[in-house]
Each structure stands twice: as structure tokens, then as C-alpha cells.
Amino acid sequence: MKVLVEFIGYAVRKIGREWLWVELAEGGTLHDVVSRFASTLDASAVESLKAALSTGELRIAVNGRLVDSLGLKLSDGDKILVFPIAAGG
């Protein structure tokens, strides 16, 4: 299955891109998505992302709903949004 991960605000600068598709096995979780970043993104970007997620500096929403657990099971076509807790313009 494939899920779309979109980065918003300064998360784009941390990661170096605005979006990416991640392929997972059926029953994959958000934790699996973050683990797959290691094969797609620069190692320092992955570590920066993990640190920001663990401190709450960045949040995750799946299909428009905030999530607190990386154990959430995903479905094909889910849209994952990674964003800072405060953003503006």
C-alpha cells in the first residue's frame, strides 16, 4: 500500500522536501512510515524529524485527524500531514 506524507511550515526545511510517497506492507503503521524515511531522506533529517516528533515540536495528522500514537494502523491512500504546532503567515 502507499501513503502520502506532506510536510508543512518549517518541517519542509527540516526534511528538505514538501511531500513523499511511502510504500508499506498492509497493516503498516505511522512508526513504519518514520522508519522508512531512513531509506529516503538524509540521516540528519531523519534524526531531526524524530527529535521534533518526540518533543511535540512537530505534530502528525492522518486524513485530517490529529494522532498521538505512531502505532496507528494506516490504509492505502492515507494522507499524513507533518506540521509544526504553530504556523502562520
Which range of 37-46, 66-75, 80-89 scores highest in mean pLDDT? It is: 66-75
Q: Are 89 and 15 a contacting pair, CB within 8 Å?
A: no
Pure H helices in 1-89: 10-15, 30-40, 43-55
Q: What percent of the chain has pLDDT over 90?
A: 53
* 65-67 and 19-23 strand pairing: unpaired
Span 50-55, mean pLDDT?
A: 87
28 or 11, which is more confident?
28
Confidence of residue 87 (pLDDT cuts 50, 70, 90): low
What mean pLDDT, rounded, does the chain reach?
89
The CA-based dihedral angle spanning residues 17, 7, 60, 55, taken in that order and rounded to the nearest 10 degrees: 60
- Domain boundaries defined on the chain: 2-84
Domain boundaries 2-84, corresponding CATH code: 3.10.20.30
Span 70-83, mean pLDDT?
A: 95
Q: In whole angstroms, what is the distance from residue 55 CA to residue 58 CA?
A: 8
pLDDT digits (tens, 9 = 90+) for 17-36: 899 999 999 999 999 998 88
- Residue type for position 6: E
